[in-house]
Structure 1
């Protein structure tokens, strides 16, 4: 059966009781008990496993060759557990009855979800909550926009577009940087634009006297950006020293190029774009799960050496080797 304890605080304690074991998960830990005479209290059972969820690699629900169903618990590191017996990557099996399979599947899914959540990466970032929009006689105003505009080298043309920038934004995005640039093909036709970097989008609004246009590019489709300069040109055997600063933005298919008014603007824009890309791609993503493939290969080499020296018999070699193999990602 499966039982919930609402008084546990934080995450509820979930318990699966079988004739051979008690599996208890809650408060960031996984406990496996061998039932005692009464099978009612924790003190009546022998504690087989008691580890933090962060020490688990994975929990699987498997059916053995003899058609028995087991919960297999894989530890992240082959360190001695409880009574000092090393795990050697061999999963701890918990035999369950056929009618307990649905409940076991639920607890296995719950444990794996918490294992994955524990691997989430939170990158250091300043407070990026979009400030509220204030309405004035001249239009909408936002504090993040005002700060970004003050960092521009010069407003150049299109002061009205700069003033209207707050009206283009949503309440879910924060303005990182903005600057006047010249957009080159294929994005623009060498015409002046306002390039704005937010935590969600890249906004490009034309500033020229011709036909007005606006483009947006979601941050997740951008791979990288860099601040660079025009290639060196030679006029009558004299190298031109005054090369204009550029911002190059790549989406994996197209290279978009913009000329900034000065180097400070190009560096600010490139830095903001790369920060936004990392923020979207990395923040909250699951990091690499230990052990790495290289680490597992080292364990395998050690196991082979111990087997060749007679320190591990054939049965142990097969069992430990299977545990290393099944600990590989995706196996």
Structure 2
């Protein structure tokens, strides 16, 4: 901007974008531009007065319209990016397929195989997975299993659930809701890995739940990465926060702790802050 942001003719407003809930632009009756700042906290003070969710107008001259519109767009982008969910995860960078004396191999597949109880039972399937795994996915966990009566290897990657047997079946993680392990109901009975992909439930069978537990945990993590990472969280204050503020305001009014004028000002501010 070519001049300071101002809330009136005398006071400059110097605030961090993180203090804002949203920003909007409007025109005044005399042709000036008003950039409306909505703060996250009702207790944010401007000119010695708490905003109580009311917008603080920053007035600019008409010739600054383009700069004002660009400012509003830039702040909106920054506010949206600040709400993007970013969670620290293990490094799931897919490793390269490298030649070896046993054929092409990937380090993630090798590590996952080493965590299996009996990887020697699945040598053919593990070898096949080395080249089945795509260059854009990381192989998280493996387990020996039977599916629809056919033996094979169940694998969870950051993008797909695979069953490698006589045939290769796959399901995108984006379609998976959750996974659970059902322990053997009685001695000698098999354990079951249930993968829920509404309305379908895939059931994998093995004699021990140990490997299934690791796969189920990895399915949960893969689903989080797909559905949560990079998503946009609700803007604060959310509806629940505002409802709690309203309840507190009404209770304070009932107890005679808030006079009519501040009560109406706070009530209007809460309504202005409601989404939609």
1:297 pairs with 2:243? yes
Pairing 1:18-57 to 2, within 5 Å after superposition: 22-23=4-5, 32=6, 46-47=11-12, 49-57=13-21
| TM-score, length of structure 2 as denominator length | 0.86
Distance 1:280 1:268 in 2: 18
Partner of 1:197: 156
Partner of 2:171: 217
Deviation of the 1:251 alpha carbon: 1.4
Q: 1:255 to 1:312 in 2, by over 3 A?
A: same
Do the aligned partners of 1:149 and 1:178 also contact (CA within 8 Å) in 2?
A: yes
Give the alignment partner of residue 248 of structure 1, picking from 170, 194, 207: 194
Do the aligned partners of 1:156 and 1:180 also contact (CA within 8 Å) in 2?
A: no
Distance 1:261 1:139 in 2: 30
For this pair of structures, how many residues does the alignment match? 275
Deviation of the 1:318 alpha carbon: 4.5
Q: 1:158 to 1:321 in 2, by over 3 A?
A: same
| TM-score, length of structure 1 as denominator length | 0.73
Q: Secondary structure at the match of 1:274?
A: helix
Give the alignment partner of residue 45 of structure 2, picking from 81, 84, 87: 81
Partner of 1:285: 231
Do the aligned partners of 2:52 and 2:269 also contact (CA within 8 Å) in 1?
A: yes
Q: What RMSD over aligned residues (CA atoms) do the two structures have, in Å?
A: 2.8
Q: Secondary structure at the match of 1:135?
A: coil
Partner of 2:217: 271
Larger radius of gyration: 1
Do the aligned partners of 1:119 and 1:289 also contact (CA within 8 Å) in 2?
A: yes
Do the aligned partners of 2:109 and 2:126 also contact (CA within 8 Å) in 1?
A: no
Q: 1:260 to 1:291 in 2, by over 3 A?
A: same
Deviation of the 1:92 alpha carbon: 0.4
Q: Secondary structure at the match of 1:72?
A: strand
Do the aligned partners of 2:180 and 2:194 also contact (CA within 8 Å) in 1?
A: yes
Do the aligned partners of 2:11 and 2:47 also contact (CA within 8 Å) in 1?
A: no
Deviation of the 1:106 alpha carbon: 2.0
Partner of 1:129: 93
Larger % of strand: which? Answer: 1
Larger % of helix: which? Answer: 2
Distance 1:178 1:103 in 2: 55
After superposition, give the CA deviation of every residue in 1:175-234 in whole Å (9 maximum; x if it has no partner).
1101221113xxxxx11121111111111222xxxxx4222222122111011135x4xx
Q: Secondary structure at the match of 1:46?
A: coil
Partner of 1:90: 54
Partner of 1:226: 180
